[in-house]
Amino acid sequence: MRSTRDGLLCPHRVIDDVGGGFSLGTMLGALVYMAKGAYNSPKRERLWNGLQLVKKRAPLLGGGFAAWMGLFGFFQCVMVDITHHDSHMNQVLAGALTGGIIQMRGGPRYFLRGFLSGAVFIGVFNLVEIFVSKSQMKYETDTRHLQHRSRVLDEISRLRSARPELVTCSEAELEVMRSELISDMTRLNID
């Protein structure tokens, strides 16, 4: 039982994924089928027909999401157990196997199509996750750097007033550094 990135142990993670997938699919199905049922109904029966369609179809969509998420969690746990670490490639392969297994009853051609679409689907999500985390880390690094520069400038100003013989830069140079700091802070939208 290896743990995955989110901290849940693998057998418990699969059960959690099935429940989360069913909930997500049912909620999305309720929204979609309520709108579809209301749109395709006569004016006085929109709410009633929307609710009837939600009651009939939303659990089916939730079941489909639960199956996908459960298989994905299972294959991800298998990949973690085989490779002994959790990586993006494990997730892409788990998505590919999940897509292939779900489409397998149509034959080898549909298995291959599902395999490729599952790999692309999870791969795109992983690329977006990598891009977002890198841009967030860059923003945090820039913010810390600007805070450090601000503390250094405050310390130089304090030192200049307390012991002017130790500071070699002039007041004009300090003002230039302050204006550069303020322009960098406004560029990053930092207060």
pLDDT digits (tens, 9 = 90+) for 87-134: 889 999 999 999 999 999 999 999 999 999 999 999 999 999 999 999
CA 38 to chain centre: 32
pLDDT (0 to 100) of residue 190:
66
pLDDT in tens, 151-183: 888 888 888 888 877 777 777 888 888 888 888
pLDDT (0 to 100) of residue 22:
94
pLDDT (0 to 100) of residue 19:
93
What global pTM score does this model have?
0.69
Instruction: Round to whole Å and give the CA distance between 137 and 135.
Output: 5
SS3 state at 87: coil
pLDDT (0 to 100) of residue 3:
44
- Round the average pLDDT of the chain to a whole number and report it: 86
pLDDT band at 191 (very low <50, low <70, confident <90, very high): low
Crossing angle between the packed helical segments 108-162 and 171-187, to the nearest 10 degrees:
160
**Residue 184: which residues within 8 A CB-CB, separation 6 or more?**
146, 149
Using the predicted structure, report yes or no on whether residue 13 has a pLDDT greater than 50: yes
Instruction: State mean pLDDT over 56-72.
Output: 92
pLDDT (0 to 100) of residue 6:
56
